[in-house]
């Protein structure tokens, strides 16, 4: 027979092991080789599990062309008055390098595009605005948080977005572009498109937070009813998830705030109102994250005190039983002694009298425990 | 026979379940669909439980007209020198959309009016000032906190207020308007009316805080006398309530501060003094919230140490009883052995001597415990 | 026979109940009726326990006149070059209203004078400077902290001070005025007098803090010697007192800081040096408060770990006794069995041999415990 | 026989009592009589234990004269181009008053010189710079921290330093003056001399911190090996020492920072570089203090968990012994019953069979505990 | 037989002792003699374990010369348009003094070069920029953190770097210089070389952090499976390591931020972009450090609650066993009494009936424990 909690432990352990594959790398810092020249593009160690894709959308208020690019060479004919959005999915150092050279992106920015795991930030390289975001999603089973770096390179009339994994994150924006003849997203420039992408990425925080909130409520109900060790492990994991989200959200807030306050010439006044709205969403997400962190801490306290309470209850039962029966057992043992001269043993009413005395003793003790409110 | 604490647990659980309906949504972030175009007004999932109402008050220092509006079309005849207050209760996306278009409100502001659950804030859209507030009230039984978003759209000569649920929150202001011929509320513009509404909403925090304070005091007395597990659960719920109020109060303070420091042309210098007073009330509320949070934490500590103390007391009783009787029982057991050659058994005075020895042993132990201050 | 700790508990409870009368209201926010017009003066619910008094001191460098005023009408003959200090003790809404009208005090300030329980603050109404302070004193028995709002209205050549209760707080200042012919307090204006009153109020914090410090030291000695539950309750109360003082001191610091940085025309440069000194005293008091708060927290930890230690010691004694005697008792029980064929029972040296074996077993165990440092 | 920990407790208590003499007053706020006129010089309650000394050094780059002053009257012949340093040790209200009058020091500054226990600060009185510092030293046995207020009055060509107790703190500076013909300390003015004294006082923090670090390391080793209650008491005292140092260091940092940022005309640009260096030293000291505070907290946690662990180990031993022997004792008791008809008692192999059964039962239990990793 | 945990304890102790050699000095403040003249170069107490080395690299875009310098005299022929990098390894007060004089470095900077253990900082001495960095590396076994101060003196066309110990830290930069004909590192000035060295030092944080992250994950898995005391000790050491890294990283961030914001004429605009990148790396490292610190705290909580849980489980087993058998043993003892008149003893079915009763009693108790969820 295996102990039941062993199986539970093993399950927890397995989930944790699975989680570490994605998680570990989430919380660990980016890989760094000290002393490398800045702007060095380091190929990733593990080969990518999917082919690199490069999608282009070119549009002006009236027309829109979508195309799948196969090499950077296909790029060189964008007319002045059009907007061009290039969306690269996957990791190909050579492709990024060629693109970077073609678009005259600063080597430090290119390095940050390739060496994923950067802090969210906005950097201003004169003609180019370089934005790093964290896209956080919730994957089953687990649920496990998955983080992906999204890099945006914004230039006059051009936006380059680089993602780590194929997903449908940007599909709503693409469809708004397709169906939006004459709407703002088609008439505004690269700054508004960048805003739309940032907004989409930030909005992905909310379903994740909603799920975290659900888990917190489930744990809370469980704790108020019947606390188990697995609640605590779950709380520990929740706190780690919140820590991760927090580490993404705070720098992003600073970055968007900097974008708002700064005087980047790429950001039109019209777009500023929308960026303020995104900043507001991030502030809201941070509020929720911090509230959840406090609730998780409060739940840990609740758990610990529940365990204390239980132990207290167990101890009381033990003490009551022991305190009643140990003296009685002693008395019984006394008259179990084999001394030859024990006058009481010969008295006829001694045995019933002793029984009555024992019952009285037990009664007194029970009364005492009742008064102490232990029973 | 059911265990008594089971019933208590069940009751707690039920209250919690009820609370979650209102609470859960309070602490959870607003619902978001990533990738939606900004300014999209999303109809609410559940149909509203009451009809939408739109009340208009038009006044100048000498006249006041109140009217129930049935459609936005009824609006279009407000003369220049009058003030117009439109108070919408309930949630009707089409109504808000038409109103927004009619009053030329920015789509982002309209989105925030409809998608309730926003962070308290003040936003400046040139001619329009958009204000989001949280109205927090305390509902029996429970007591359970109920949060409601109140949106104010302030323009020259016009104030639009949108509330979630019908209530009498704004009735005192309405009655001050009616009876206030020649008073400040009738002579000042939309900014003073906005101040009056903000002030009313902020002042609703104080009765709630007063009730929280009462609960804290009750728990404190209970803890100093006789701590129970339900005190802890109540403390946990109090901390959550305070967390919620805090999340509303801090952003509001920043918002009102921004209103004061900013140079919104809608805000007259005369009104600024009053806004400073509101800011002062919020600061006071925050002070009280933070003080209560610290007191709640301190009470959790007090509870935990009371539990520790009790366990200690229980352990002492167990130890005293066990330590006195276990050796005595051993001695009795010794002379209960059936060895044929146990010379003591035949000695006449052995039994009384043993009794005396046992009493002496117990006495020594009691003396030891007294010295150790365990008794 | 009543359990001794019951009496202690009851005493604690009584002190707490007494304290709540004054305390509860100290920590609870001011009473508020949402929606009231600003500047509404609300009469207090309970009638005052003492008659309202209004004392006036009029002085210039050479002359000083003191008078007891009975109505506001007695006021109207102060010449230009004199200073006039009106000190109102008690709570009379009509009196304050008439005074306010007479001195042209802003209704918001008047409201704050009447509705006591405000946050310490400094407000600038053009010609008038309005200052709210908290006077904190320590009353026996208990000791219990008592808080009182002191409002100062400063105008050119006039200072109005309103206090809640009759006391001798301002007597030293009054006596300095009387005996100060030619001194600074007689030659300077209302700003210096206001400084003198603020300084007096702030200085009242120090004896209270000194007493708190004394209590902390007493508790510390008690904890290092012999921790009891009442130490913890006392610590809890101390923390609450410090929380209260903190809530008064921090806003006061901001207020005085604002007075220093601001350019209120009523504040002469000469007085600014003295205000800086007051600011310094508040900063000192805050330092002490925060240090005491940390010490109190540290003492709670010390208490909890002392309780843990004690429990550990108790457990060790129990374990030692049980571990030594339980096996011995088992052996004795073994030879107390009534089997017919137990060859050992007939052996002559079996009994002494068993005794020796038992002693050896006990010895081994004692050695084991010694090695484990449990004894 | 006295319990050994009693002696330890008593020792701790005695050290604490001794410490309180110096300590208590360290953590307690300065003595204050509310309502006193500003600038009142209050004579100290206890007579000083040593005579007041006043040493003067007068120097220019080429000459240096040292003299012991006996009254302020000896002062009045300092030529313009010389620097004069007056170092007063001890507490004599009249002397300070006369000196203050002679040097035209502001009464508020004089008050702070006399009423020691001020917060470290820098105050600018036009022609005079007034600096308050805390000199913290470590005295054996204990070790006990000793705090002393050092006040510096800086004027053009003059520096007045007032100390509480005779010590050799400033001897190195005095000797640098003597031997420094032509060096910076002789050619620069009062600001550089003030810097030299501040630097000396700040540098005294480091040996104290070094000693605290040593104690922390000793406690850490002791905790990892064998935690005792006295470690905890020592940690508590360490935390109090760090609290004290912190309360001196933070205001000093602000003060020196203000000196650097301000435009006091007494501070030459040349000296600013040196003041920046002092500021750096204070920042370093604060870093170390905060690190030590965190380490001390971490050690308290380590201690508590060690105690928990031990208790756990003790409980396991008790449980193992009790769980093995209680059932066995019951079985033995069973066959010790005196029923007339107990067929097993007559069976010849019953006794050895029972012994085997008991051994098997114990074996199963031991196996169970092994599997649970309790043994 | 030695107790197994003793050996573990001893091992821990040994590692700690070893660690203290390097560690102790890491956390302890720099050695200081109060009252010394600023700029005093104090020879180190222990003689260095390796000879001092001074390497020079002179380069312009086209040529590069490397040389080993033996005395400062070898220096004096650097032409204007060349860059010169002098890398000193080891500690030789005279050499530093001569170099400092030759390069006209401010005595305060020289003092900081020699008296290692400074806080990371950037100081601006007009023509010279003085930078102090902490190089943190991870050494086996242990792993133990090793800290080394790296001082950079930056002047027009010259960079002096002083390190404590020989290592290959700067080899990658040296090799980039050698192979970089025409690249940025050869065409830019001393500011870019300084950036390259700072970047290298900062990047050394990441492998250390990665290792810390690995240890945290190992401990986490261990805690979720089977918590042991050594996990806690390891956590304690991790927290100390993080404290150390934190103390280096925060001041460095301020320093680099100051470099960016300041207008040091030595820093070209071109280099500013790269410095911003370094600042970003430090911010990233700080994020990771703070996240790890929170995780470590969370793991300590997890450990403590695991211990609590275990104790609870142990207690339950004890209580179940004791509660079942203590009453049964009492009953057996009862019928083991030797009273002459105990009628039950003679009844034929009494013994089996009692056995059945006992079994039933045990059954009821087991049912009770099952219902309480203790089994």
Encode pLDDT of D6-44 as tens digits. 544 454 444 444 444 444 445 667 667 787 788 777 776
How far does the CA of residue B342 sit from the closest CA of chain D (Å)? 17
What is the b/e burial string over E77-94, where b = at least 16 CB atoms within 10 angstroms of the residue's CB?
A: eeeeeebbbbbbbbbbee
What does the pLDDT average to over E61-65?
88
Q: What is the pLDDT of residue A62?
A: 85
- Given a cut of 70, is residue E23 above it in pLDDT? no
Q: Is the pLDDT of residue D112 over 50?
A: yes
CA distances from A245 to A200, A210, C131, C265 (A): 16, 13, 45, 50
pLDDT digit string, tens, across residues E182-206: 788 888 889 999 999 999 999 999 9
Q: What tens digit of pLDDT does each residue of C36-61 get?
A: 788 777 776 666 677 889 999 999 88
Q: Is A371 on the interface with C (CB under 8 A)?
A: yes
* Chain A: residue whose CA lies nearest to D371: A3
pLDDT of residue A78: 64
Q: C233 falls in which pLDDT band (50, 70, 90)? A: confident
- Using CA atoms, how far apart are residues D145 and D208, in angstroms rounded to an integer? 8
Q: For C355, which residue in chain B has the nearest alpha carbon?
A: B334
Mean of the per-residue pLDDT values for chain D? 84
pLDDT-based confidence at C84, cuts 50/70/90? very high
Q: What is the mean pLDDT of residues C199-217?
A: 91
Summarised one tens digit per residue, pLDDT across range B330-353 is: 999 999 998 888 888 888 889 999
- Averaged pLDDT, C244-260: 89
Q: Beta partners for A162?
A: A88, A151
pLDDT single digits (tens) A195-209: 999 999 999 999 899
Residue in chain B closest to C11 (alpha carbons) equals B225
Lowest-pLDDT range of B219-223, C256-260, E2-6, E131-135: E2-6
Q: What is the pLDDT of residue B354?
A: 92
The predicted model gives E27-32 an average pLDDT of 68
- Give the DSSP H or E segment for C351: helix C350-371
pLDDT value at position C45? 64
Query: What pLDDT does residue B15 have?
Result: 45
Mutate to test the interface with A, among E224, E331, E343 (most CBs of A within 10 A): E224
How do residues B258-267 score in pLDDT, each as one tens digit? Answer: 888 877 888 8
Q: What is the mean pLDDT of residues E332-355?
A: 89
Closest E-chain CA to A349:
E341
Best interface-test mutation with D: which of B326, B371, B374 has the largest number of D CBs within 10 A?
A: B371
B 157-176 residues with CB below 8 A of E?
none
Contacts of D3 in chain B (CB under 8 A): 371-372
Closest CA to C143 of C241, C229, C217, C231: C241
SS (HEC) of E115-171: CCCCCCEEEEECCEEEEEEEEEEEECCCCEEEEEEEEEEEECCEEEEEECCCCCCCH
**Residue A51 pLDDT class (50, 70, 90 cuts):** confident
C-beta atoms of D35 and C316 within 8 A: no
Residue D143 has pLDDT above 80, yes or no: no
**Chains sharing 3 or more CB pairs under 8 A with chain B:** A, C, D, E
- Percent of chain C exceeding pLDDT 70 equals 89
D305 vs E13, E232, E243: nearest CB: E232
- The tokens for D163 are 């100390």
Which residues does chain A have within 8 Å of residue D371's beta carbon, measured at their own beta carbons? 3
**Nearest Cα residue to C53 out of C210, C195, C163:** C163
What is the CB neighbour count within 10 angstroms for residue C33?
11
* D328 interaction partners in chain C (CB closer than 8 Å): 330
Task: Decide if D372 touches A, using CB distance below 8 A.
Answer: yes
Residue scoring higher pLDDT (E73 or D320): D320
pLDDT bracket for residue E21 (50, 70, 90): very low
Interval C173-199 mean pLDDT:
88
- Scanning the structure block, which residue is given the tokens 């000790």? E233
Q: What are phi and psi of E228, to 5 degrees?
A: -125, 160
Interface test mutation site (partner B, options C9, C35, C238, max chain B beta carbons within 10 A): C35
pLDDT, residue A61, reads: 87
* CB-based contact, E348 to chain D, within 8 Å: yes
Residues of B in contact with D336 (CB under 8 A): 336
Q: Do E302 and A236 touch (CB under 8 A)?
A: yes
- Average predicted confidence (pLDDT) for chain E: 84
C–D CB contacts, 8 A cutoff, strictly below: 178
The nearest CA of chain A is from the CA of B366 a distance in Å of 15
Which whole number is the average pLDDT over B293-317?
85
pLDDT at position E78: 64
E77 touches C at CB < 8 Å: no
- Give residues with Cβ within 8 angstroms of C355, minimum separation 6: none
pLDDT of residue C149: 92
- Which chain A residue shows the shortest CA-CA distance from C3? A372
The whole-number average pLDDT for the span C318-327 is 88
Q: Is the pLDDT of residue C30 over 80?
A: no
- In this prediction, residues E322-340 reach a mean pLDDT of 90
Q: What is the pLDDT of residue B155?
A: 92
A336 reaches C (C-beta below 8 A): yes
Residue with tokens 């911190």: D209
pLDDT tens column, B153-184: 999 989 999 998 888 899 999 999 998 777 88
Cα C127 to its chain centre, rounded Å, is: 35
Picking from D332, D336, D337, D345 by the largest number of B CB atoms within 10 A of its own CB, the best residue to mutate is D336
The reported pLDDT for the residue numbered B125 is: 87
User: Residue B93: which of B72, B114, B73, B107 has the closest Cα?
Assistant: B114
* Residues B142, B270 contacting (CB under 8 angstroms): no
Reply yes or no on whether the pLDDT at A8 is more than 70: no
Choice among B299-308, C153-162, E333-342 with the minimum mean pLDDT: B299-308
pLDDT tens digits, A135-189: 999 887 767 888 899 999 999 989 999 998 888 899 999 999 998 777 888 888 8
pLDDT given at position A353? 92
Residue B343: Cβ within 10 Å count: 9
Among residues E140, E116, E205, the alpha carbon closest in space to that of E169 is found at E205
Residue of C nearest to B293 (CA): C243
Q: Chain B contact for A298, CB < 8 A?
A: yes
Lowest mean pLDDT among B229-233, C205-209, E74-78: E74-78
The listed range with the strongest mean pLDDT (A284-293, D178-187, E263-272) is: A284-293
Beta pairing, strands C158-163 & C83-89: parallel
Q: D281 pLDDT exceeds 80?
A: yes
Give the closest of E169, E298, E330 to A239, CB-based: E298
What is the distance of C-alpha C258 from the center of its chain?
A: 25
Closest Cα in chain C, distance from residue E329 (Å):
11
Q: Which chain A residues are Cβ-neighbours of D336 within 8 angstroms?
A: 336
Beta-sheet strand order (sheet of A158-163): A64-69, A53-59, A83-89, A158-163, A144-155, A128-139, A121-125
Over residues E246-255, mean pLDDT: 91
Is A351 touching E (CB cutoff 8 A)?
yes
Put simply, the answer to whether E372 touches B3 (Cβ < 8 Å) is: yes
CA contacts within 13 A on the Cβ side of E326: 26
**Are B221 and C17 inside 8 Å of each other by CB?**
yes
DSSP letters spanning C175-201: HHHHH-TTSHHHHS-HHHHHHHHHHHH
Q: Say whether E315 and A311 touch across the interface (CB within 8 A).
A: yes
* CA–CA dist E375, E372 (Å, integer): 8
Mutate to test the interface with D, among B323, B333, B367, B370 (most CBs of D within 10 A): B333
Q: How far is A363 from chain C (nearest CA, A)?
A: 17
List pLDDT tens digits, range A260-294: 887 788 888 888 889 999 999 999 999 999 999 99
Strands B158-163 and B83-89, how do they pair?
Answer: parallel
The stretch A320-335 carries a mean pLDDT of: 90
ipTM over 0.90: no
Burial zone of E103 (CB within 10 Å; 0-12 exposed, 13-18 middle, 19+ buried): middle
The predicted-structure confidence for E126-172, as pLDDT tens digits, reads as follows 889 999 999 999 887 777 888 899 999 999 989 999 998 888 899 99
Which among E220, E337, E343, E362 is the top mutation candidate for probing chain A, defined by the most A β-carbons within 10 Å of its own β-carbon?
A: E337
Nearest chain B residue to C23, by CA:
B217
Q: What is the number of residues in chain E? A: 375
Please give the residue of chain D at the shortest CA–CA distance from A333. Answer: D333
pLDDT at C75: 76
- The set of chains that have 3 or more CB pairs under 8 A with A is B, C, D, E
Mark yes or no for CB contact E371/B336 under 8 Å.
Answer: no
C372 vs E3: CB contact, 8 Å cut-off?
A: yes
Q: Nearest-CA residue of chain E relative to A24?
A: E217
Tell me, yes or no, if C11 comes closer than 8 A to chain B by beta carbon.
Answer: no
Chain E nearest C-alpha distance from D295 (Å): 7
Q: Which chains touch E (3 or more CB pairs under 8 A)?
A: A, B, C, D
Q: Does pLDDT of E19 surpass 80?
A: no
CA distance C371 to chain E (A): 9
For residue B242, give Cα distances in angstroms to B106, B144, B217, B297: 33, 12, 15, 12
């Amino acid at each position: 027979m295996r102990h039941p909690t062993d199986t539970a432990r093993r399950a927890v352990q397995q989930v944790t092991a699975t989680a570490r594959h994605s998680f570990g790398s989430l919380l660990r810092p980016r890989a760094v080789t000290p002393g490398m020249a800045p702007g060095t593009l380091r190929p990733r160690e593990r080969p990518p599990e999917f082919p690199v894709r490069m999608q282009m959308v070119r549009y002006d208020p009236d027309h829109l062309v979508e195309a799948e690019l196969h090499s950077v060479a296909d790029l060189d004919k964008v007319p002045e008055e059009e907007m061009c959005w290039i969306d690269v999915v996957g990791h190909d150092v050579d492709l990024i390098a060629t693109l970077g050279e073609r678009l005259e992106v600063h080597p430090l920015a290119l390095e940050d595009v390739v060496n994923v795991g950067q802090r969210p930030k906005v950097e201003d390289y004169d003609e180019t605005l370089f934005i790093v975001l964290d896209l956080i999603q919730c994957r089953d089973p687990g649920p496990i948080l998955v983080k992906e770096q999204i890099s945006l390179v914004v230039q006059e009339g051009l936006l380059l977005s680089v993602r780590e994994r194929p997903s449908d994150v940007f599909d709503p924006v693409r469809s708004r572009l397709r169906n939006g003849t004459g709407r703002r997203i088609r008439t505004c420039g690269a700054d508004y498109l960048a805003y739309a992408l940032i907004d989409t990425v930030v909005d992905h925080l909310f379903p994740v937070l909603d799920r975290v909130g659900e888990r917190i409520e489930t744990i809370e109900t469980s704790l108020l009813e019947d606390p188990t060790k697995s609640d605590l492990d779950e709380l520990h994991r929740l706190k780690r998830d919140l820590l991760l989200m927090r580490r993404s959200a705070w720098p992003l807030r600073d970055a968007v705030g900097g974008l708002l306050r700064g005087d980047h010439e790429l950001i039109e006044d019209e777009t500023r109102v929308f960026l303020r709205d995104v900043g507001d969403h991030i502030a809201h997400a941070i509020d929720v994250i911090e509230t959840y962190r406090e609730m998780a801490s409060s739940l840990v306290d609740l758990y610990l005190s529940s365990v204390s309470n239980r132990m207290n209850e167990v101890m009381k039962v033990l003490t009551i039983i022991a305190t009643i029966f140990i003296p009685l057992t002693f008395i019984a043992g006394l008259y179990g002694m084999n001394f030859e001269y024990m006058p009481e043993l010969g008295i006829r009413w001694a045995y019933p009298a002793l029984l009555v005395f024992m019952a009285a003793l037990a009664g007194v003790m029970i009364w005492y425990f009742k008064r102490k409110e232990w029973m």
